[in-house]
Structure 1
Amino acid sequence: MRTRELGIVIGEHPTGPHNAITDVPGVRVGHTTLEQAGPPAVRTGVTVVVPHDDIWTEPIFAGAHRLNGSGELTGLEWIRESGELTSAIALTNTHSVGVVRDALVDAQVGARGDGLYWSLPVVGETYDGVLNDINGHHVRAEHVHAALAGASGGPVAEGNVGGGTGMICHGFKGGIGTASRIADTAAGRYTVGALVQANHGRRERFRVNGVPVGELVGPDVVPLPGMPVTYEPGSGSIIVIVATDAPLLPHQCTRLAQRSALAVSRVGGSGEQYSGDLMLAFSTGNRGIPPYSWDEDAGTGRPEIAVRMVAPQLMTLLFDLTIEATEEAIVNAVAAATTVTGRDGRTAHALDHTLFRQAMAPRH
């Protein structure tokens, strides 16, 4: 069940039809989930976000933000330099970034053919080694290709799926979560969607609409996973992907990525020392940017490219949509997750829905 199915509403703005990042037209999401009781216990996978069908040959504007850097999101230097996203985005576990990145290179070659161009795909990670045999390198290239082939619009599976299979959020079972918001303006309707891989936070800081759910449903009620004594509470990381069809320039995308970090804070994340809290925002509202090529004549026919941008006065509205969508995506990741027992018998318990409703009852 999702947060709204439990009668809990976050924010003031309406959602898109699926309350998911796929409400942004053209955006698709795919998962490959790997589960094996073991030994070794395998609780991992890969999730892909495809910004639009031609992303391999038609970049779009994007921007990124770092709340805390104990993590990895590949390809960001080129995004910061050029303001352009040139690949699908994949999310997986910390030790599978390389194989997933290489698989995305293969996917681009498959789409564009062989040639003199480079590929700097975007792959984000969070650490699932508490529940998963992370050093077994169970994610392989075929799993990435399967997620890409199965990527679709519409409803998005959440919780223990794809890259979120082995993740823990605020001491509860976490994983993948998504949400969206819409707003009508004089220029038309804008949609903002967020997708998170949530593997961060401390139980006592978990809050929903300001209610201290993590205190009300403490470890004496829902046990914490049996973490090794060397594992600092709050370690783990979150990746936030924000998508919008509002026509944004790269610096405006960066500002949305920054605001999504406020949602992490509102739910209780504080960018702990060993939490890699990384955010990426992209806009599909400007299309027609040519792909990269060594062909010196590639740009001679179009020396200029017309682009649009949202007026600065509307950015506050987009900030609000981003914060609400990201906040609900994190809570959805927790609400949708189910209890998992993994590596060395450690168990990450789901947040019981009855207890969640009871904790929220004074406000709802």
Structure 2
Amino acid sequence: MLTGLFVLNAAAQEEPRVRARDLGVAPGIFSPGTNNAITDVAGVRVGQVTLRKGDKVRTGVTAILPHPGNAYRSRVPAALHVGNGFGKFIGTTQINELGELESPILLTCTLCVWKAADAMVEWMLAQPDMQEVRSLNVVVGETNDGRLNDIRARPITAAAVRTALESAKSGPVQEGSVGAGTGTTAFGWKAGIGTSSRKLPESLGGWTVGVLVQANFGGVLQVEGAPVGRELDRYAFQNAVAARENTRGLADDRGDGSIIIVIATDAPLSDRNLQRLASRGMMGLGRTGSSASNGSGDYILAFSTAESVRRQFDAVRLQTTELANEQMSAVFQASVDAVEESVYNALFMATTESGNGQTVEAIPLDQVRKILKEHGVEVPVR
């Protein structure tokens, strides 16, 4: 039993946290799915374990399962785009070579990727129909939560990984300071896990695109074009730009950090078109104000859950029906918009967090509302 260690943040917040749409921030033109989450793609499930221990450990695990079956036996086509490769993403060379995913996807902290990978290997090998398996390519991504988390303690355990995998479910996904986002920050504010989705009109195929991000990066925050970072006086290179003393006693923020973006869709896409789809994730990221700095690991993994492109591991031939190139544009648009909104959700839902001797504040939503209104973003009356 995992007692006492895995607890969600119960600290009272003076200001209720809300998702982007509650602030009138709804990027793009397509409507979201039922939960506005990656789990709106049928079959996709998310499980999370949040680890807070003492006053130093603030980290966790987020697991994404592509479908309810055995991911090794029934593989989904997949592709990875690297916007900036300053990071660790286990298992991606084989994805690039074979164009398929044969495990769930785990997200965690930088120095825990190998422990998480080993735990997932053990968990998968213990599953039914896996007794003869001698090779596994598990996929684990990371961002560095070492500001709030005692990352050198490498606190992720096999029990935490198993719990994340076995608790994965469809429906709403918890966001902000949870799971792999427990200790992460973005644009100088507390961030974490964020998710969003888009449902295309039937005339454009009716496909669903879902996104989940682990946000831990920097830059100059903008929301629907409004210069939120500048107006809140928290943005990359601000001390150099303002030619002033650094009142926080820290080195000038250069926008470093990382983000993992996972894009799921039920559109029947080949790994080639999934590569094209993954590359569009950088466009959504750029809208939020990231410049993919030197010290930022920016990775986008995309996969398709469609039965018509599924790959049985022992198949002799593959007969697939996939979406034509000319039908990809709406899927691209949906992914760009969902990535952008996922980042906002990661920020707006995160709560102020203290750990490892530091405190990172949640972005003040009352001030964000004011800035958005001043720049013409319609904010709903609450």
The two structures share one fold, judged by TM-score above 0.5? yes
In structure 1, what is the equivalent of residue 206 of structure 2?
A: 189
Among 135, 153, 156, the residue aligned to 2:152: 135
Look up the equivalent residue of 2:198 and give its one-letter code.
R
Counting only pairs closer than 5 Å after superposition, residues 12-161 of structure 1 correspond to structure 2 as: 12-38=29-55, 41-54=56-69, 55-111=71-127, 112-161=129-178
Tell me how far apart the structure 1 counterparts of residues 157 and 112 of structure 2 sit (CA, whole Å): 8
Whether contact under 8 Å (1:225, 1:347) holds in the other structure is: no
> Helix, strand or coil: the match of 1:237?
strand
Tell me how far apart the structure 2 counterparts of residues 225 and 201 of structure 1 sit (CA, whole Å): 19
Whether contact under 8 Å (1:207, 1:267) holds in the other structure is: yes
> Helix, strand or coil: the match of 1:247?
coil
In structure 2, what is the equivalent of residue 216 of structure 1?
A: 231
Among 296, 303, 320, the residue aligned to 1:282: 303
User: What TM-score do the two structures reach when normalised by structure 1?
Assistant: 0.91
Counting only pairs closer than 5 Å after superposition, residues 142-291 of structure 1 correspond to structure 2 as: 142-186=159-203, 188-202=205-219, 205-219=220-234, 229=251, 233-285=254-306, 286-291=308-313
In structure 2, what is the equivalent of residue 294 of structure 1?
A: none
**Superimposed CA distance per residue, residues 168-196 of structure 1 (whole angstroms, 9 cap, x where no aligned partner):** 01111010000000112457410000000
Whether contact under 8 Å (1:62, 1:84) holds in the other structure is: yes
Whether contact under 8 Å (2:270, 2:309) holds in the other structure is: no
Over aligned residues, Cα RMSD in angstroms? Answer: 1.8
Deviation of 1:227 after TM superposition, in Å, equals: 7.9
Deviation of 1:308 after TM superposition, in Å, equals: 1.4
Tell me how far apart the structure 1 counterparts of residues 22 and 297 of structure 2 sit (CA, whole Å): 30
In structure 2, what is the equivalent of residue 327 of structure 1?
A: 340
Deviation of 1:153 after TM superposition, in Å, equals: 0.3
In structure 1, what is the equivalent of residue 4 of structure 2?
A: none
Whether contact under 8 Å (1:178, 1:330) holds in the other structure is: yes
In structure 2, what is the equivalent of residue 295 of structure 1?
A: none
How many aligned positions are there?
Answer: 346
Tell me how far apart the structure 1 counterparts of residues 107 and 247 of structure 2 sit (CA, whole Å): 23
Among 357, 360, 367, the residue aligned to 1:348: 360
Tell me how far apart the structure 2 counterparts of residues 31 and 279 of structure 1 sit (CA, whole Å): 20
Look up the equivalent residue of 2:256 and give its one-letter code.
S
Tell me how far apart the structure 1 counterparts of residues 345 and 247 of structure 2 sit (CA, whole Å): 20
Tell me how far apart the structure 2 counterparts of residues 182 and 312 of structure 1 sit (CA, whole Å): 19
Whether contact under 8 Å (2:24, 2:377) holds in the other structure is: no
User: What TM-score do the two structures reach when normalised by structure 2?
Assistant: 0.87
Q: Which runs of 5+ in 1 are unaligned?
A: 292-297
Deviation of 1:7 after TM superposition, in Å, equals: 2.5
> Helix, strand or coil: the match of 2:47?
strand
